[in-house]
Amino acid sequence: MDEPWITTNHSPRQGIIASFWANVLASSDLNLTSSVADRPRFTPEAIEASLAAKPKWLTSSTAKGFQKEEFEFLSEEELNKLTDSVKGVRAVASEMRPNEPATVEQRERALPGFLAVLEVLDYDRYGDVWALILGKQIERKLAAEWPPFLDHLRFRTGLDSTDDPALWVWAFVTEETEEYEVTRFLERTDVIEDVLDPIAREIAPEGRLYLRFRSTLDQPKAEGVPA
């Protein structure tokens, strides 16, 4: 990334990404009122069921505004996946006129691509646009040293209690049993912090870092997508 994230919250680059992020979120109609740390995981099956009940998710504007060069913070695999998926959704959406409802056949053709877009943007793990940009880069750099007991990470950016720009990272630690064991949990968080902390500070050096640890036993279980 060639721009400091804190000093460019209103940069054209961030604006393009934010516009696309908001477009897809509005189409998906996911309810993200809870804190990113407390959100249940949105499985493809649950999202598909939710979209089936809300046929207006596909419009002539769905997934509009994507610019590949602005998403180069993604891995090559994710960038290609996002690019191809958006292209598929837009091919169907471009057939539609403004305010014209999509047919069942159009929704069926656009659905796989739209689900793939949601999978890359992963709204249940990234709380905002800069969380997506920074989080993806942190995860890419961490991949070679990813601890086997680190289940997943979640990210949010904003101002802390002293009005300083900050990055919050929640690391969810895998539990092998149905019981929370404090000693083992603390041993694992120490290992995760040793590798995660310097990487996060390297990717986002301008702001304060708040690293939090939670057990996967605390992760909300989702039967479907919140609506």
Beta carbons of 188 and 196 less than 8 angstroms apart: no
* pLDDT, tens digit (0-9, with 9 covering 90-100), for 69-84: 999 999 999 999 999 9
**Residue 170 CB: number of other CB atoms within 10 A?**
20
Strand order in the sheet with 150-159: 150-159, 165-173, 208-215
* pLDDT, tens digit (0-9, with 9 covering 90-100), for 42-54: 888 888 988 988 8
Question: Domain extents for the chain?
Answer: 6-30+43-121, 129-218
CA 151 to chain centre: 15
pLDDT average, residue stretch 29-54: 85
Residue 9 has pLDDT above 50, yes or no: no
* Token duo for residue 147: 């601890």
* Token duo for residue 199: 């990487």
> Cα separation of 85 and 137, whole Å?
21
CATH code 3.30.1130.10 for 129-218? no
* pLDDT, tens digit (0-9, with 9 covering 90-100), for 81-104: 999 999 999 999 999 988 889 999
Largest alpha-carbon pair distance within the chain? 60
**Residue 57 CB: number of other CB atoms within 10 A?**
21
Compute the radius of gyration of the chain from its Cα atoms: 19
> Cα separation of 101 and 59, whole Å?
7
* Token duo for residue 165: 């720009």
> What pLDDT score does 90 carry?
98
2 closest CA partner among 61, 64, 66, 72? 72
213 closest CA partner among 60, 93, 194, 32? 194
- The dihedral of CA 152, 82, 68, 145: what is its sign? positive
End-to-end CA distance of the chain: 34
Residue 8 has pLDDT above 80, yes or no: no
Percent of the chain with pLDDT over 90: 66
Among 172-181, 189-198, 212-221, the range of highest mean pLDDT: 189-198
Q: How confident is the model at residue 105 (pLDDT cuts 50, 70, 90)?
A: very high
> What pLDDT score does 2 carry?
38
Rounded to the nearest integer, the mean pLDDT of the chain is 88
pLDDT average, residue stretch 185-204: 95
> Cα separation of 95 and 9, whole Å?
35
